[in-house]
Chain A
Amino acid sequence: MWLKGVKGVVLGLFLLSITPRIVLADSAYVLPYPGLMPGNKLYKIEQAFDRLYRPWVFGNFSRHKYELGLADKKLVEAKILFEYQQYLLAVRALTDSDRHFQKAVYYLDQAEKEGKDISQKTTNLQAAAGKHREVLQRLKEQLPEEFIWRPEKGEATELNLKLILEEAMRIREI
């Protein structure tokens, strides 16, 4: 009798495992391909190009788009680096992403002050923030709370990953 019950539970679990998982928190916002990663010989050239491109970007909407694009790119870069346990580089990329995200919010505020309708941009920014938080939450679940980065040469760096990720999530709360 109890065997029938076990069979039922196992069958139920099996059926549950093969049915598509519904994740209500997933955002429709699509993050970009990160491009070149640190360690690539052309990475610095890409960084220089991003900086050279900056003066070409004028206007608050343009700057908002530019900064949000960089925030997305750096976040994906950070995610991949975390996954490959390159924590120091990952933290740098995440800090860059935080900075660009804050600038994206700032330029949107400026656009509103100019009298531009920012409703569509705000919706998009909220979607981006949602997606960012989703990625950061997963990272928070996967990563250790603290990590001491010991390079072959030089001093060790203590990385409070939990704090860094929580700060990044706080920045993205709109």
Chain B
Amino acid sequence: MRFKLALLHWLQAEGRNFDLRRRPRVAQPRKKPIPRADSDAGRSGRPRASALGKASFFYTIIYIALAVFSYGFIDPNFPYKAPRALHRLIYYQRPLTTIIYIIVVGGLFCLYGWVLKGVKRRKLNSKKIWKLVFLSVVVLFFAFPAFSYDIFNYIATAKVAFFYRENPYLVMPIEFVGEPMLEFMHAANKITLYGPFWILLTGLPHSLINNLFLNVFSFKALVVAFYLGLSYLIWRLSKKSAFSLAFFALNPLVVLETLVSSHNDVVMMFFALLGLYLLIQGKRPLSFLSLLASIGIKYATLALVPIFFLSSRLKKEQITILSFWALFLVFCLAPFREEIYPWYVIWLISFAALVPERRFIFWLTIALSLGTLGRYLPFLYTRSWEGMTPMVKWWVTVLPPVIVALAFFKANFSREVSKR
């Protein structure tokens, strides 16, 4: 008996919640301290690593690993060569590459879940999320655009327009005989797919630097600036919600496709959400101008035009939800043009972040983020876009959202049954 009491005292002193079912509690359990976002002290009073500290530590490790890993993806024909060990890893040790990718993406999703939970439990506030966002930017800015060659299409398009002074809607990069970029570009035989406003914007990073390797980073800087701008807009539109900020800015898909691969979808969404922000402010002409700028980046936000026109009859939440579904429709129609690309999910995450209380939208977005990032797996494993790759890509994209939809259907069905 005395031994058990001593053990109980010791456990309570260690701050563990111990439940004695048979016997009454000898000592009153301590009141659970209200978690504070800025608290650095443990229950025992000893200083412990804060939630931010832990998150920063793990994020830094994963991001550095990702940044190093990304340099292995440098094309063998690129003027600057990848370190030999990394090149061998990516091109010849494909199972290991696939495992590393799974660990990195899995790690990012685990951290993402942990951060979102931390925000919900008020362990992490907006300031701390912003710190994590800036950490992501600082480390991943130096990553090589590993999983997509679109940044080189942006650079080539800017070169066609501003260096060769040709219309990129009529002339393809491949038409310039002797152009050094042709050796490693993957879509040199295409005219530009992007809007005129995007081409105008790329004039800035193009004119700043006249070196291909540094140009990658000047273009990355442009995308990163809009990533920060979009994160800020989401934060403002959600009434400075740390959860919305974290939901968007730390989403692994957003991080990988924006900070690593530098897709311009954040630029398009920045202007779309700026339009929404101006619409809420009652500045309709400016909001339409902003939407026009967004359409001038990548056309997908053309689907938002009817919603903007009907906005006077709608509440902010309704506009957001309708915008989400309008872009989801465009997302679903993507295979008719080419295919569903992972970075298209950024369109959905941008609006989903404004209505995180909508459970179905929330989980659907998470499922799509996870699923579409899985689309890289078969290519990493086989280094081929043919064979089993299309089938695996289809399944990994479709399965997670279907599971989410079925789970919600089952939950609703059970609720209906229990009501009756």
Cα(A61)–Cα(B177), bound, Å: 12
Cα(A168)–Cα(B177), bound, Å: 30
CB within 8 Å of A: which of B163-196?
A: 164-167, 169-171, 175-178
> How does the 8 Å CB contact mask read for A112-147 relative to B, with 1 for contact and 0 for none?
001011011100000000000000000000000000
Chain B residues whose C-beta falls within 8 Å of the C-beta of A45 in the assembled complex: none
Given contacts A59-B171, A61-B171, A62-B170, are A119 and B177 in contact (CB under 8 A)?
yes
Cα(A61)–Cα(B166), bound, Å: 7
Cα(A60)–Cα(B175), bound, Å: 12
What is the distance, in angstroms, from A121's C-beta to the closest C-beta of chain B?
8
Shortest Cβ distance from B166 into A: residue: A59
Chain B residues whose C-beta falls within 8 Å of the C-beta of A58 in the assembled complex: 165-167
Shortest Cβ distance from A117 into B: residue: B177
A120 and B175 form a contact (CB under 8 A): yes
Shortest Cβ distance from A124 into B: residue: B175
Shortest Cβ distance from B177 into A: residue: A117
What is the distance, in angstroms, from A161's C-beta to the closest C-beta of chain B?
35
Chain B residues whose C-beta falls within 8 Å of the C-beta of A57 in the assembled complex: 167, 170
Chain B residues whose C-beta falls within 8 Å of the C-beta of A117 in the assembled complex: 176-178
Most chain A CB neighbours (cut-off 10 Å) among B165, B169, B178 = B165
What is the distance, in angstroms, from A102's C-beta to the closest C-beta of chain B?
20
What is the distance, in angstroms, from B321's C-beta to the closest C-beta of chain A?
38
Cα(A59)–Cα(B176), bound, Å: 13
Shortest Cβ distance from B161 into A: residue: A59
Chain B residues whose C-beta falls within 8 Å of the C-beta of A65 in the assembled complex: 170-171
Chain A residues whose C-beta falls within 8 Å of the C-beta of B165 in the assembled complex: 58-59, 114
Interface residues on A, range: 10 to 19
> How does the 8 Å CB contact mask read for A86-121 relative to B, with 1 for contact and 0 for none?
000000000000000000000000000010110111
Chain B residues whose C-beta falls within 8 Å of the C-beta of A114 in the assembled complex: 165
Chain A residues whose C-beta falls within 8 Å of the C-beta of B170 in the assembled complex: 57, 59, 61-62, 65-66
Shortest Cβ distance from A115 into B: residue: B164
Cα(A60)–Cα(B165), bound, Å: 8
Cα(A126)–Cα(B233), bound, Å: 55
Cα(A45)–Cα(B178), bound, Å: 40
A56 and B176 form a contact (CB under 8 A): no
Chain A residues whose C-beta falls within 8 Å of the C-beta of B177 in the assembled complex: 117, 119-120
Chain A residues whose C-beta falls within 8 Å of the C-beta of B178 in the assembled complex: 117
B166 and A62 form a contact (CB under 8 A): yes
Cα(A120)–Cα(B179), bound, Å: 13
Cα(A56)–Cα(B168), bound, Å: 11
Shortest Cβ distance from B175 into A: residue: A61
Cα(A83)–Cα(B360), bound, Å: 65
A62 and B167 form a contact (CB under 8 A): yes
Chain B residues whose C-beta falls within 8 Å of the C-beta of A60 in the assembled complex: 166
What is the distance, in angstroms, from B188's C-beta to the closest C-beta of chain A?
13
Chain A residues whose C-beta falls within 8 Å of the C-beta of B166 in the assembled complex: 58-62
Most chain B CB neighbours (cut-off 10 Å) among A62, A66, A116, A117 = A62
Chain A residues whose C-beta falls within 8 Å of the C-beta of B175 in the assembled complex: 61, 120-121
What is the distance, in angstroms, from A53's C-beta to the closest C-beta of chain B?
10
Chain A residues whose C-beta falls within 8 Å of the C-beta of B164 in the assembled complex: 59, 61, 116
Shortest Cβ distance from B172 into A: residue: A61
What is the distance, in angstroms, from B87's C-beta to the closest C-beta of chain A?
31
CB within 8 Å of A: which of B39-86?
A: none
CB within 8 Å of A: which of B126-182?
A: 164-167, 169-171, 175-178
What is the distance, in angstroms, from B206's C-beta to the closest C-beta of chain A?
16
Cα(A121)–Cα(B174), bound, Å: 12
Chain B residues whose C-beta falls within 8 Å of the C-beta of A61 in the assembled complex: 164, 166, 170-171, 175
Cα(A168)–Cα(B175), bound, Å: 28
Cα(A158)–Cα(B369), bound, Å: 73
Shortest Cβ distance from A118 into B: residue: B177
Taking a contact as CB atoms closer than 8 A, the residue among A56, A116, A120, A121 that contacts B167 in the complex is A56
Some 23 contacts from A to B, beta carbons below 8 A apart, are A56-B167, A56-B169, A57-B167, A57-B170, A58-B165, A58-B166, A58-B167, A59-B164, A59-B165, A59-B166, A59-B167, A59-B170, A59-B171, A60-B166, A61-B171, A61-B175, A62-B170, A62-B171, A65-B171, A114-B165, A117-B177, A120-B175, A120-B177
Closest 6 CB pairs of A and B: A59-B166, A117-B177, A62-B167, A62-B170, A61-B171, A61-B166
Please give 19 more A-B residue pairs, beta carbons under 8 A apart, in addition to A61-B171, A62-B167, A121-B175: A57-B167, A58-B165, A58-B166, A59-B164, A59-B166, A59-B167, A59-B170, A60-B166, A61-B164, A61-B166, A61-B170, A61-B175, A62-B166, A62-B171, A116-B164, A117-B176, A119-B177, A120-B175, A120-B177
